[in-house]
Amino acid sequence: MPIVKDFFIGLSNNSFLNKTAKEVGPMFGANKVVAGNTIKYLIDTIERLNNKGITVTVDCLGEFVVTEGEAIQAKDQILEVMYAIYNHSLAGHMSVKLSQLGSEFDIDLAYRNLREILLKANEFDNMHINIDTEKYDSLFDITQVLDRLKGEFKNVGTVIQAYLYKADALIDKYPELRLRMVKGAYKENEVIAFQTKEEIDENYIRLIKKRLLSAKNVTSIATHDDKIITQIKQFIKDNKIDKDRYEFQMLYGFRSDLAEQIAGEGNNFCIYVPYGDDWFSYFMRRLAERPQNLNLMFKELLKPDILKKVGTIAGIFAGVVATGSILYRVLKK
């Protein structure tokens, strides 16, 4: 349902709604997929997952960074989380976005901020730092910064989006880096990306297999699709791929039972844990991927205690979500 997906992707890019959501904190169903906005809550979440044999990668959420001060603040928050993970002896690393660090207005500032993060990561048991991919327009900046850093640091990696035609070339370019394999969550033009689910799934499976056979570092297989997971597990078995060369990965709050099952089978498993006040854009993108979550969000919005607590703000969100719900139900028929 591309119309519903486009609707929520559009909301994720709305600065007014993002600012408004930040004022009230994670709710409306988002608290099911965002690990709160305090260090204590985050650490408790990581400890709970670690106790189940699951590692984490933490994303300090942040959107619409337009000043140097905001970029430095984002960098400082990432460093704070890194210190907390290290200080509590937890199994986890960081996922960062260059746009948070200033790349959209000063690529050198973003580079300096990321380099400072990597230098500190070296002090924290060589903690891995993953550069998350964003819109296609940002891919050039990401690869340029990565190319500047990968010679100096061995604990840096990035993400390969399987819906991009360039994905093959990127896998060939970075065999020595730790890479996360995803399908891709943004709306991209047909000139640069596959458009149908069937094409994307086929390319995703093909790229994972290619990477597993050629990589010199860990491959993170990030999907909630149990059919794809089953197929890749069989491929790993057939090709006798060592378990230290791959891990499965899912988003926090999604298919927890399946995650625990895969980890319980002896596979390395990592949960992508979002954290912080800037939850709205992240949650809207998750709704774009899975509109079924609308019912959860709408029911929570209409609870009397929430309406009383945030008043007009809840009304705004209720209208937004109601519109999305109607679109989803109409187009589903």
Instruction: Please report, in range form, the residues annotated as the binding site for substrate.
Output: 97, 285-286
Question: Looking only at Cα atoms, what is the longest distance across the chain?
Answer: 58
Catalytic residue among 59, 141, 178, 180: 180
The token pair at 50 is: 């670690």
Q: How many CA atoms lie within 13 A of 14 on its CB side?
A: 17
Catalytic residue flag (residue 180): yes
The token pair at 224 is: 């909630």
Query: Cα–Cα distance between 102 and 110 in angstroms, integer?
Result: 5
Non-local CB neighbours of 262 within 8 Å, separated by 6+ positions? 229, 248, 269
Catalytic residue among 132, 201, 277, 278: 132
Q: Which residues are annotated binding-site positions?
A: 97, 161, 183-185, 197, 223-224, 285-286
Three-state DSSP class for 277? coil
Q: What are the distances in angstroms from CA 60 to CA 81, 87, 101?
A: 8, 18, 11
Query: Cα–Cα distance between 314 and 332 in angstroms, integer?
Result: 26
Write down the residue that tokens 């988002």 correspond to: 30
Query: If we measure between CA atoms, which residue out of 123, 120, 158, 164 comes closest to residue 141?
Result: 158
Q: Which residues are annotated binding-site positions for FAD?
A: 161, 183-185, 197, 223-224
Q: Hey, which residues are catalytic here?
A: 132, 180
